[in-house]
A and B are shown apart, each in its own frame.
Chain A
Amino acid sequence: MSVISVEHLSKEYQIAKKEKGLRGAVKNLFVARKTIVRAVNDISFSIEKGEIVGFIGPNGAGKSTTVKMMSGILTPSSGHVYVNGTDPQKERIKVVQDLGVVFGQRTQLNWDLRMGESFEMLKHIYRIDSGLYEENMAMMNEILGINEFLDTPARQLSLGQRMRGDLVAAMLHSPSVLFLDEPTIGLDVDGKYAIRKFIKEMNRKKQTTIILTTHDLGDIQELCERLIIINHGIIMEDGPLEELIDRIAPYKNLVVEYFDENAVEHEKAIILSHVGNMVTYRFQKADLTAAQLIHDISAQMRIKDVTIEEAKIDDIIRIAYGGKENGEKE
């Protein structure tokens, strides 16, 4: 059974169109004109135990909306979500008992309580037994180093400290599913590193199923075995990153520096550019390997240096989002 299954899920938001000015204000009282935004449009997917899935897409694509529906805090306009076989709309409490969520832009730590007190409160809310609580705190402190801020009220924490606190808060009760909505937003290099390490460890140690939305390419490359790409509320791609790269950019470039301006041609590679001693070849990964190409060329002419260029991940992502293909490496 899938840990999460999403079936034909849609969400429409109604937005009251307001008219400007005093006249508009009076008018708004009587006729509320509404426009409908279809934020999520008939999406379906399922996620198995222990997967780390990157749920990515441009701003306004519908990621947060989907995550909210999967956590049972937003009612879908149509379609279904099942988390561990349970519909969060019908049995929210049962679902959230086994769910951890971090919304990078919000906090579940109580603003006025010390961070440690917020954790204590969660311990009671989720009825976490003391043994498990201590064990989880110790393990998470090892990666996130939160012990030093336990006595600081949440409102005095920096963004990165707060985010670490929120991750701990989400995982204290050892949920089997973790939703992370932009968990690395605004963090420095150390912060991102710690959080990525945390995500990997949780996934490895506890088989936690993790769904992650992010705009950070590093997160995507380091964490996500599988990507679900959404844009305009529609799923554009669903598969491993490598597969996506292979499909969108099934080629590599080889830049060869010769000793003079003469260059060798190759039947399975095209020459993209030839400037002075520098020649850029492009070959299809399916036809040829870089090693073979270098071997073939150097058999005919002496070469000084080579560089292998792969398609840039951000270009791939941009193309997958449905952007133009002009981001290619020339």
Chain B
Amino acid sequence: MLAYRFDVFASIVFQCIVMFATSFFWKALYSNSDTVMGVGVQEMLTYTIISALMSIFLTTKVEDRVIESVRQGSVAMDMMKPINLFGIYFAEDLGYLTSLLFQNAIPIIVIGSLFITIPRPASWYHFLAFLGSFLMSFFINWFLSAIFAMWAFSILNMNPLVQAKRHIIRLLSGSIVPIWFFPSWLAKILNCLPFVYIYQLPLDLYIGKGTPASMLPRLAIQFAWLMILAAAFAILQKRVLRKVMVQGG
């Protein structure tokens, strides 16, 4: 129990450090200008807190779970249950998120509001649009993770790849630095990849960057990515389950 408690505590501290460091960075950057790329410091700080909050809800265990259970062979026990294998992992992730909501999300939002700024959405409409878009982000992120996890059924040492994927998502999704600060050629490329639809788009909606007219096509692309990944997930899942390797006798 002590080990768990330490884990929880350490993860909150770590998330706070990232949140504070990023907010100091923005404050320094904004010290001699009111707006950069049409965004004020207040919005940028809100962006930082909400991004930290989102990262909590976008933590998935599915890759680690599959890697561990394939390596130890306990995937056999999961497959003995009369339910979809990935359904088990999804349910476990949801359960884990519920615990994170109380353990991490609430502390982060309280600390952020007290010491950085109160993260107000641009308006109620923006908030609702954010919620809708974030729901899609959540599934895009989960399907991506699950598809990654499927590799673990055939590649036994997946950990490095999973770590790399996590960092790539954090960097290229606009979760730390919004992609409107990136060179425009890079931003164009990133707009074609699914990552920005995990963080950047919901965050833009929250702080009210961009007009409704410019947001609708992006939401459509987000929805398209969701569908593509869901389909890929469904197809790969079938194939992968057929060649599951159960280790050990």
A73-B79 in contact (CB<8A): yes
* Cα distance, A65 to B73, chains bound together (Å): 13
A147 CB, nearest partner CB in chain B, Å: 23
* Other-chain residue from A71, A92, A106 in contact with B74 (beta carbon distance below 8 A): A106
Identify the stretch in A95-103, A204-212, A218-226 within 8 Å (CB) of chain B at 4 or more residues.
Answer: A95-103
Residues of chain B with a CB closer than 8 A to A126's CB? 82
Residues of chain A with a CB closer than 8 A to B75's CB? 73
A46: CB under 8 A from chain B?
Answer: no
Residues of chain A with a CB closer than 8 A to B80's CB? 71, 73, 96, 99, 101, 108
* Cα distance, A105 to B81, chains bound together (Å): 18
B249-A73 in contact (CB<8A): no
A75: CB under 8 A from chain B?
Answer: yes
B47 CB, nearest partner CB in chain A, Å: 36
A103-B244 in contact (CB<8A): no
Q: What class of interface size applies to chain B in its complex with A? A: 10 to 19
B246: CB under 8 A from chain A?
Answer: yes
B249-A93 in contact (CB<8A): no
* Other-chain residue from A64, A75, A125 in contact with B242 (beta carbon distance below 8 A): A75
Chain A 253-297 per-residue mask, 1 if CB under 8 angstroms from chain B, else 0:
000000000000000000000000000000000000000000000
Q: Which residue of B lies closest to A67 (CB)?
A: B249
Chain A 102-130 per-residue mask, 1 if CB under 8 angstroms from chain B, else 0:
01011110000000000000000110000
A68-B81 in contact (CB<8A): no
Q: Which residue of A lies closest to B156 (CB)?
A: A16
B5: CB under 8 A from chain A?
Answer: no
A132: CB under 8 A from chain B?
Answer: no
Residues of chain A with a CB closer than 8 A to B249's CB? 63-65, 105, 181
* Other-chain residue from B82, B84, B246 in contact with A74 (beta carbon distance below 8 A): B246
A72: CB under 8 A from chain B?
Answer: yes
B216: CB under 8 A from chain A?
Answer: no
Residues of chain A with a CB closer than 8 A to B83's CB? 93, 125
A73-B76 in contact (CB<8A): yes
A72-B79 in contact (CB<8A): yes
B154 CB, nearest partner CB in chain A, Å: 11
* Other-chain residue from A92, A94, A125, A181 in contact with B79 (beta carbon distance below 8 A): A92
B167: CB under 8 A from chain A?
Answer: no
B243 CB, nearest partner CB in chain A, Å: 6
* Cα distance, A71 to B75, chains bound together (Å): 13
Residues of chain B with a CB closer than 8 A to A103's CB? 76-77
Residues of chain A with a CB closer than 8 A to B73's CB? 106
Residues of chain B with a CB closer than 8 A to A105's CB? 248-249
A67 CB, nearest partner CB in chain B, Å: 9
Residues of chain A with a CB closer than 8 A to B243's CB? 75
Given A75-B242, A75-B243, decide whether A97 and B82 contact each other with a Cβ distance below 8 A: yes
Given A65-B249, A68-B246, A105-B248, decide whether A125 and B82 contact each other with a Cβ distance below 8 A: yes
Q: Which of B156-178 contact A (CB under 8 A)?
A: none
Q: Which of B221-249 contact A (CB under 8 A)?
A: 241-244, 246, 248-249
B204 CB, nearest partner CB in chain A, Å: 39
Residues of chain A with a CB closer than 8 A to B241's CB? 92
B8 CB, nearest partner CB in chain A, Å: 14
Q: Which of A178-206 contact B (CB under 8 A)?
A: 181
Q: Which residue of B lies closest to A60 (CB)?
A: B249
Point out residues on B near A: beta carbons under 8 Å: 73-77, 79-84, 241-244, 246, 248-249
Closest 4 CB pairs of A and B: A64-B249, A97-B82, A73-B79, A108-B77
Given pairs A92-B241, A101-B80, A126-B82, 4 additional interface contacts (CB within 8 A): A73-B246, A74-B244, A93-B84, A108-B80
